[in-house]
Structure 1
């Protein structure tokens, strides 16, 4: 149910019609996309420290967003969809192509209660060292924590409003993983300290809790 490409999209509905927003998202907005070629699945989340709702769409490749079927979905929204999209705030939309994934020793995880998203804008001349630090130092240390179930890394090929280049999605058994000794160890790493001393090393960190069940592509 995971694809090699994701669409990471956040929205904040007005609290007065939040229930209507969720009903629309679950019964119309996602299901119509699950019928489009190249869409593999989707999972919704809600911000732990924000009112934002997140949908992570799983796709075979970025080409899923360029098919005639998807262009029809985007170009001919229902009246209800138009009303909802015109009323939300806090909109984000990032397309990421997977560059690697790591599973806990217990095996692959399809669902996790908590999603921890980490964005970075990495200058091209620092990308190689950033990637090596993440893969060789950061991820191995984090995944010594039993609540750190999976890590997926992405290169962002398009998106707004941030100018991020790299995204890591960390799948956690609980938010307790974020205050674990293993995460403290990872953040005290000398390699990380060398990177953190540079002006560009400014991550954007967001924590979400799973909202609802995973959607699968229509057969």
Structure 2
């Protein structure tokens, strides 16, 4: 299994997001995920790495629809996730991979494909150890305009404004991939995803975005359907890179 360090440079960055809740204590859940489940997933085709997140305690931005689907496992791949899906499905059917009884079923899961390049902030550092403390902001949206207009606004206006906030690492936009869902999961349908990564707590990010919105420096266009779904997430594990 190769850890493709060129993923960020090429933009071939696909995501598998798996949200879950559980009935065990948090310690048991964490140990199972980090010691058993993630190592199994790391052996699949195209895997770059994984990290776990939980809802951050930063206050939501004004006017958004806060989305809380529980614990998130974020898996990053360097190619379309079809082979990954087939290998995980095979392990589940053969019982090589077993989901414990304390994991509430069905869980939510989503394959995502990139629809923009990766945009880098001034705080970006390619050292993978810097990812251990990254916090995430998920902004889901739908729109009433054509895709060219939406893409241009996001990439040329909105993301550069967001990346001007101190501590921003990178941003990228995604849509649901054509890959079939894994059997038995619930597939959320919140539309387009803008994923923002920041170094440390999102508190400053929130305050700066709120200030820009209130001052009129940042304007959300009429074609963006309101309210949109958003979530701040904090790391619950280190970044686990796939091994060479």
TM range (shorter): 0.7 to 0.9
| Alignment partners' CA distance in 2, 1:80 and 1:70 | 11
The equivalent of 1:194 in structure 2 is: 222
Distance 1:19 1:88 in 2: 19
Q: CA RMSD in A?
A: 2.7
Corresponding residue number in structure 2 for 1:98:
114
How many matched pairs?
A: 211
> CA offset at residue 153 of structure 1?
1.3
Contact preservation (8 Å) 2:44, 2:84:
no
| Aligned partner (choices 32, 36, 56) of residue 48 of structure 1 | 56
Residue 76 of structure 1: aligned partner: 94
CA contact (8 A) 1:177 1:183 kept: no
- Asked if 1 retains the 8 angstrom alpha-carbon contact of 2:213 and 2:219, the reply is no
Give SS of 1:13's match.
Answer: coil
The DSSP-based 3-state class of the residue aligned with 2:29 is helix
Would the alpha carbon gap of residues 217 and 12 (structure 1) be closer, same or farther in structure 2, given more than 3 Å must change? same
Q: Is the 8 A contact 1:6 1:95 kept in 2?
A: yes
1:195-214 deviations in Å (ceiling 9; x for gaps): 34xxx344210111011111
Bigger proportion of residues as strand: 1
User: How far apart in 1 are the matches of 2:234 and 2:218?
Assistant: 31
TM-score (norm 2): 0.74
Equivalent residue in structure 2 for 1:168, among 176, 183, 194: 194
CA contact (8 A) 2:137 2:232 kept: yes
User: Which of 137, 140, 154 is the matching residue for 2:160?
Assistant: 140
Larger relative contact order (CA 8 Å, sep ≥ 6): 2
Aligned to 1:153: 173
Q: Which has the higher helix share?
A: 1
Q: Which runs of 5 or more structure 1 residues have no equivalent in the other structure?
A: none
**Structure 2: distance between partners of 1:81 and 1:161:** 18
Normalised by the size of structure 1, how large is the TM-score?
0.82
Distance 1:118 1:55 in 2: 17
**Cα separation, 2, equivalents of 1:190 and 1:182:** 8
Counterpart in the other structure of 2:64: none
Distance 2:90 2:97 in 1: 14
